[in-house]
């Protein structure tokens, strides 16, 4: 409808004359705005010019409008895929899978939160796709980065990493081949285009062939830290910057060793997470002091506690006790803050779980498993007894005092409801595990429990008569 016909239509007797003039003026202004749009792209002789709004927000959404309205970007593929971004600029990110509308237009990948039809309706809200430049990128299939099937990884030239996945085997292979072909096809022209794109504004122009205006300097992508460093120090501060480097080098060269810090008491030796032999050697004993304290405290006030060692204590309080053990020389488990006996038992189990090598050393694991498989019961007991006697002194003595304590727990089974089988289920995975996970976790757990249960039942035969 042109301006004249609109004017005739609005000038009927029923219309308010003032309103008619206002509507005619509005339509005329709208036509003027459309006639004033000019292209942001210098055209080649063989390519017709396309009008693009000079408004900054409209220009930032030009790619999305082209894709949704069909204004001819070089779209090769578009489909819903599962996407996870695992790194940005070399920095690892938490992997979060999300279904994403993915568009391949030859030189880059575009990721939309909505489909292209939904994105068109959300232009006014500022819907903006995540763009990935394929120049200098690498693509490869991966089975290590995710347990899902049909997963390939894209690593960009800037250090960002993406995972794309689909349950459709044919579809994901088609995407892999298309993206690989796009990456391989980007030669020197792609490099020029990558390095000469500038921030868009209403007065800037970018040559379609990738040649920028001579007045604009070529920008090079730089790491974020280097940019911060350049912002902090100007070129006139180069002398001061060298001084800072020299002072840092001197500080690092003069920094005290770990042994010096330990001798001065600045850093204390840890109890949790320390090798059993190292801890016993430091404490000049064959049984860690913390283990002795816990066993004594439980026997004094927790033998009849319901579900002892099975019921979990408050984790925050257990961590607080762990910190106290690692930092303080004197530990009083009778203090009111450790009143809950399950906190003490929880800390003891945590101590054994965090040993770098379990109470049953790694080199003995398969030997104990083979021994427990022996069909003849007496021969099985003798095999276990022989292996226990061959353990290192700290492991043997700690095991002996721990299993004697657990026998006292079982003796009160009518009050604490903890049977031999219940104790073995708790302490089986806590005291022994294989050095390498072979995928037989369920089978190993059965043998772990059986080994602990047999030692509890045949304690006197394996360790000899007790003193008490």
- Backbone phi and psi for residue 115, each to the nearest 5 degrees, phi listed first: -70, 170
Residue 318 to residue 297: CA distance in whole angstroms = 15
CB 347 within 8 A of CB 294: yes
User: Looking at beta carbons, which pairs linking 31-37 to residues 24 or more positions away fall under 8 Å?
Assistant: 31/3
Residue 324 to residue 314: CA distance in whole angstroms = 15
HSE (CB half, 13 Å, CA atoms) of 234? 1
Lowest mean pLDDT among 202-206, 250-254, 298-302: 202-206
373-421: pLDDT as tens digits:
999 999 999 999 999 999 999 999 999 999 999 999 999 999 999 999 9
From 123, 120, 108, select the one nearest 75 (Cα to Cα): 108
C-alpha separations of 248 from 241, 259, 355 in Å: 11, 22, 37
CB 368 within 8 A of CB 432: yes
Lowest mean pLDDT among 37-41, 112-116, 171-175, 221-225: 37-41
On average, the pLDDT of the chain sits at 74
Lowest mean pLDDT among 83-87, 95-99, 253-257, 402-406: 253-257
Q: Which residues contact 216 (CB under 8 A, 6 or more apart)?
A: 198
**3-state SS, residue 188:** helix
More confident residue, 132 or 254: 132
Residue 244 has pLDDT above 50, yes or no: yes
More confident residue, 90 or 55: 90
Residue 137 to residue 139: CA distance in whole angstroms = 7
**3-state SS, residue 62:** helix
CB 75 within 8 A of CB 105: yes
Partner residues linked to 102 by β-bridges: 79, 111
Question: Burial level of 253, CB count in 10 A (0-12/13-18/19+)?
Answer: exposed
> CA quadruple 424, 429, 431, 437: dihedral positive or negative?
positive
Residue 71 has pLDDT above 50, yes or no: no
273-290: pLDDT as tens digits:
999 999 999 999 999 999
Residue 426 has pLDDT above 60, yes or no: yes
What average pLDDT score do residues 335-361 get? 94
What average pLDDT score do residues 238-246 get? 66
From 349, 284, 282, select the one nearest 315 (Cα to Cα): 349
Partner residues linked to 343 by β-bridges: none
> CA quadruple 134, 138, 143, 147: dihedral positive or negative?
negative
Residue 187 has pLDDT above 70, yes or no: no
Residue 8 has pLDDT above 70, yes or no: no
CB 269 within 8 A of CB 325: no
Largest CA distance in the chain: 118
Residue 158 to residue 166: CA distance in whole angstroms = 25
9-19: pLDDT as tens digits:
444 444 454 54
Composition of the chain by helix, strand, coil, percent to 5: 50, 10, 40
Partner residues linked to 92 by β-bridges: 87
pTM of the model: 0.47
In the chain, the percentage of residues whose pLDDT exceeds 70 is 64
What average pLDDT score do residues 420-443 get? 85
110-164: pLDDT as tens digits:
888 765 555 555 544 555 778 888 888 888 888 877 888 889 899 988 888 989 9
Residue 1 banded pLDDT, cuts 50, 70, 90: very low
Q: What is the pLDDT of residue 457?
A: 95
Residue 262 banded pLDDT, cuts 50, 70, 90: low
C-alpha separations of 420 from 206, 238, 409, 451, 454 in Å: 79, 73, 9, 12, 9
Identify the top-confidence range among 71-75, 115-119, 267-271.
267-271
N- to C-terminal Cα distance for the chain?
107
Q: Which residues contact 34 (CB under 8 A, 6 or more apart)?
A: none
């Amino acid at each position: 409808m042109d301006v004249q016909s609109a004017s005739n239509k609005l000038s009927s007797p029923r219309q308010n004359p003032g309103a008619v003039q206002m509507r005619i003026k509005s339509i005329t202004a709208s036509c003027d705005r459309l006639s004033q749009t000019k292209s942001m792209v210098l055209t080649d002789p063989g390519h017709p010019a396309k009008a693009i709004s000079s408004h900054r927000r409209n220009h930032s959404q030009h790619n999305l409008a082209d894709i949704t309205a069909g204004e001819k970007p070089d779209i090769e593929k578009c489909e819903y895929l599962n996407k996870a971004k695992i790194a940005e600029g070399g920095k690892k990110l938490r992997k979060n899978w999300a279904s994403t509308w993915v568009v391949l237009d030859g030189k880059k990948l575009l990721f939309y939160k909505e489909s292209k039809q939904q994105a068109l309706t959300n232009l006014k809200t500022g819907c903006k796709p995540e763009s990935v430049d394929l120049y200098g990128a690498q693509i490869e299939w991966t089975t290590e980065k995710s347990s899902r099937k049909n997963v390939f990884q894209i690593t960009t030239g800037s250090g960002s990493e993406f995972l794309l996945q689909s349950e459709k085997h044919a579809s994901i292979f088609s995407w892999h081949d298309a993206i690989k072909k796009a990456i391989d096809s980007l030669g020197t022209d792609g490099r020029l285009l990558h390095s000469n794109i500038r921030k868009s504004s209403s007065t800037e122009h970018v040559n379609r062939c990738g040649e920028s205006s001579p007045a604009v300097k070529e920008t090079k992508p730089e790491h974020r830290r280097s940019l911060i460093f350049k912002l902090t120090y100007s070129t006139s501060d180069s002398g001061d910057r060298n001084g800072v480097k020299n002072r840092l080098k001197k500080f690092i060269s003069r920094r005290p060793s770990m042994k010096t810090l330990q001798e001065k008491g600045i850093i204390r030796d840890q109890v949790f997470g320390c090798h059993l032999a190292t801890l016993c050697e430091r404490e000049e004993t064959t049984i860690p002091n913390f283990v002795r304290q816990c066993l004594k405290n439980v026997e004094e006030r927790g033998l009849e506690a319901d579900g002892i060692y099975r019921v979990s204590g408050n984790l925050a309080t257990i961590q607080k006790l762990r910190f106290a053990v690692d930092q303080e020389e004197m530990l009083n488990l009778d203090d009111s803050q450790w009143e809950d006996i399950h906190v003490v038992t929880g800390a003891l189990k945590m101590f054994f779980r965090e040993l770098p090598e379990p109470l049953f050393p790694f080199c003995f694991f398969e030997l104990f498993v083979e021994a427990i498989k022996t069909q003849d019961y007496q021969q099985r007991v003798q095999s276990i007894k022989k292996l226990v006697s061959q353990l290192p002194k700290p492991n043997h003595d700690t095991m002996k005092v721990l299993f004697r304590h657990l026998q006292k727990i079982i003796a009160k089974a009518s009050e604490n409801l903890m049977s031999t089988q219940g104790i073995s289920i708790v302490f089986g995975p806590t005291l022994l595990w294989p050095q390498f996970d072979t995928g037989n976790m369920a089978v190993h757990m059965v043998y772990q429990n059986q080994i602990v249960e047999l030692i509890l039942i045949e304690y006197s035969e394996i360790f000899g008569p007790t003193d008490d």
